[in-house]
Amino acid sequence: MDFVSRWEPNARERLQQAAMELYSERGFDQTTVADIAARAGLTERTFFRYFPDKREVLFWGSGKLEELLVDGVTRAPDSTGPMDAVTAALEAVAPIFEERRDLVRQRHTLIVGHTELQERELIKLASLGSAITKALHRRGVPEPVARLTAETGVAVLRVAFEGWVQNPKPSAFVQHVREARESLRAIAAGRKPTRD
């Protein structure tokens, strides 16, 4: 019985939902793990089974994102150059953002308004860069081209993501990736951007 009563359906999702609500209502700093657990109808102990701290609730998706990006780079055809292998991987992660647009936008607003969370985001992006570099190595891309491609790919991801998340209307993430990729091609060729 004890075992059964401790099984909580969708505990992770309930905790995430509760955390996002409280961070938006009160602010990140004013919310405790106890508050989050109470809002989710769970115990603090359950919270710590899923997350090491209240900051990580906001970064639960970064492991999955990294896994999908690495997978995307790995699966690109042998004939594909490194930058286009990374671009294909960026396109493949579109569902991660599109399937939970409201949550992603709410999270983004929180992060840009909080230095400590922005710092954690930078660390996650650096981790993505390293994972992509390793995936490119496995495709036979030598250093320092692998590192430069991966870091540039992260820049493309950031710009595409910013465009998508700031768009008040739902839009295709893939379209933002393609625009950033084409913009990269133009600026790297030394072209001046045209004014609209």
Q: State the number of binding residues for its own copies (CB under 8 A).
A: 39
How many Cα atoms within 13 Å fall on the side-chain side of residue 111? Answer: 20
Stretch 89-128: interaction string toward its own copies, x if CB under 8 A: -----------------------------xx--xx--x--
4 is a site residue for its own copies (CB under 8 A): no
151 is a site residue for its own copies (CB under 8 A): yes
147 is a site residue for its own copies (CB under 8 A): yes
Phi-psi region of 134 (alpha: psi -120 to 50; beta: other; left: phi over 0): alpha
Task: Give the shortest CB-8-to-its own copies separation in angstroms.
Answer: 33
Distance CA 63, CA 177 (A): 20
The neighbour count for residue 100, using CB atoms within 10 Å, is 14
3-state class (DSSP) for residue 190: coil
- Cβ proximity to its own copies, 74 vs 118, nearer residue: 118
Distance CA 115, CA 182 (A): 31
Stretch 127-146: interaction string toward its own copies, x if CB under 8 A: -------------xxx-xx-
192 is a site residue for its own copies (CB under 8 A): yes
